[in-house]
Structure 1
Amino acid sequence: MRYTVDDLLTLMAVLRDPDQGCPWDIRQDWDSIVPHTLEEAYEVADAIERRAYDELPGELGDLLFQVVYYARFGEEEGRFDFADVVHALTAKMLRRHPHVFPDGTLESRRPPGADPDGVEQRHVKQNWEALKAREREQRARAPASALDDVPRALPALSRAAKLGKRAAGAGFDFDDVRGVMDKVHEELAEVEEALTRDDGEHAGEKVGDLLFAVTQLARRLKADPEQALRATSARFEARFRYVEQRLGEGEQRLHRAPAEELERCWQAAKRLESLKR
């Protein structure tokens, strides 16, 4: 027997039942589930990065369970249910893919070879952003901003990249990568200036500006800053663990080691890493 989405929705209804449900699940609300949603999304990303495909069904299931939670909250409050979520998503994707569904229905298809020169393909991204902008305008009571709907709960690097991308789409961007590099150097110089004045608080603020500029550099290089930093953190962790192993057991061993020895171990870790590529 294989369970279905209907079974999953029934399970959630029982878990939330005031008389027969789980005390923990009954206590949950919109706000309390948000941290779990973010955690589950990261666990999906982690499984993909590790190519742990055998873990993905479970991790994706955990993420889907978060959607089921919110749908249940909406149903209990008479706002919407899971079917509304599916309908809204499908309708939105049909609107945003007129190059695939020309009549805006699931049954419609673009004739094979209808765009032999790839003209439509080159405009797909522009059309996608324009469609999303119109949807934001329709939802907003006040005049829409290009930055509407950039979630505040996103990781800081991801949100900075998305803000920069939205601003760039509205025409607010550097002319080229060199311009972004100049901005990075400018922000770094301001950090150094603040440190020269022994103004630690201002230096901290300028570090934020520096990080934002570096994020825009990553965006212009078509590198996802969140993934880039996660990859760098993984390399740092592997190298640091190698240094620890080379120096022996105990945290104090690391503290007592001369700087030259630490550097030799670190470079050895980098060489070993390059051999594994």
Structure 2
Amino acid sequence: MDAPAQRPSAVPGRPPGSSVERLAEVVGLLRRHCPWTAALDHAALLEYLVEETYELYEAVDDVARTDHPGAGLLDALRGELGDVLFQVVLHAQLQAERGSFGLAEVADGLTAKLVRRNPHVFSPDGALLGSFPASVEEIVATWHAVKAQERPGRTSPFEGIPHHLPALALAAKTLKRAGEGSGPAAAAQPVGAIDVPGSSDAPGSSDAPGSSDAPEAADAADAEGAPDAEARVGRELLELTRRALASGVDPERALRRAVLDYQQDVAGD
């Protein structure tokens, strides 16, 4: 959990209550009267959930990359947020129809979790505290302690990491859970760094990627077959991910931005 760059002021705009209620109502009506929407189930929605999430990621990053995003970028962000919200509301509606839970229970659960995991802001009954003296390090440590109490059955720090994450994001998440990376979030992790083959090689050493001996090792690995080459490249990518985290860089976003810059350079835009 990253600390915000600055403390925001009160949220502007009108309260979302009536708008969210109307959205839930419209989704319910679609389920009853639209044959296409009525035919959807959780499994059928997974493809759309993944697609919409990636589109939202791109819209958020496009805004983050721009010092003064224009109306077009902000409209795109608002639209993609709506598409992901539709997925949430629809999945909750499916469960409501089964008598399990609905959107209200989803919101209640999230609110309770946020109150529970942020005792530096809220009292146990959800009331706002009078002062907020906690440091970022204390906040992160408390966050992880509360999470551990919520799920005492977990025996591995890597439980709960989705295996369907993109490989680079999966590597970064795994290393962070292992306590690697920079900043207080990593320092607060109770688990020591995992030992990865080749990770002890310092940049510039004779065995490190990019050294004078590396090409010979690479040629030998390639000569032994694709599986060995794949394993070598995988270890190098994991080590590069480790270095990115140690520098406070999100490797997934860094690679995405580098690819976009490359596309722009090649296209001559």
- Normalised by the length of structure 1, the TM-score is 0.72
Report the equivalent of 1:219.
245
2:162 corresponding residue in structure 1 = 151
Q: Which runs of 4+ in 1 moved over 4 A?
A: 178-192
Matches within 5 A, 1:64-75: 64-75=85-96
Q: 1:192 to 1:87 in 2, by over 3 A?
A: farther
Unaligned runs of 5+ in 2: 1-15, 64-72, 180-188
Whether 1:128 and 2:143 are equivalent positions in the alignment is yes
Q: Does 1:85 align with 2:91?
A: no
Structure 1 Cα separation of the partners of residues 246 and 147 of structure 2: 21
**Contact conserved, 2:95 with 2:101, CA < 8 A, in 1?**
yes
TM superposition shift of 1:85: 0.5
1:232-251 aligned within 5 A: 232-242=258-268
User: CA distance change for structure 1 residues 126 and 108 in 2, over 3 Å: closer, same or farther?
Assistant: same
Q: 3-state DSSP class of the match of 1:219?
A: helix
Distance in 1 between residues matched to 2:170 and 2:129, nearest whole Å: 35
Residue identity in the other structure for 2:44: S
Q: Which has the larger radius of gyration?
A: 1
Counterpart in the other structure of 1:33: 45
> Is 1:46 aligned with 2:66?
no
Whether contact under 8 Å (1:161, 1:225) holds in the other structure is yes
Q: Kindly indicate whether structure 1 or structure 2 has the higher relative contact order, using CA contacts under 8 Å at least 6 residues apart.
A: 2
Amino acid at match of 1:109: L
Letter in 2 for 1:78: G
Q: Which amino acid aligns with 1:82?
A: L
Match of 1:107 among 120, 123, 127: 127
Deviation (angstroms), 1:171: 3.1
- Structure with the larger helix share: 1
Which amino acid is the alignment partner of residue 117 of structure 2?
A: R
| TM-score, normalisation: structure 2 | 0.74
Distance in 2, matches of 1:107 and 1:172, equals 36
1:209 and 2:255 aligned: no
Q: Aligned with 2:151: secondary structure?
A: helix
2:220 aligned with 1:193: yes
Distance 2:114 2:265 in 1: 44
CA distance in 2, matches of 1:198, 1:167: 32
Distance in 1 (CA, whole Å) between partners of 2:109 and 2:201 is 38
Q: Structure 1 residues 44, 198: CA separation in 2 closer, same or farther (over 3 Å shift)? A: same
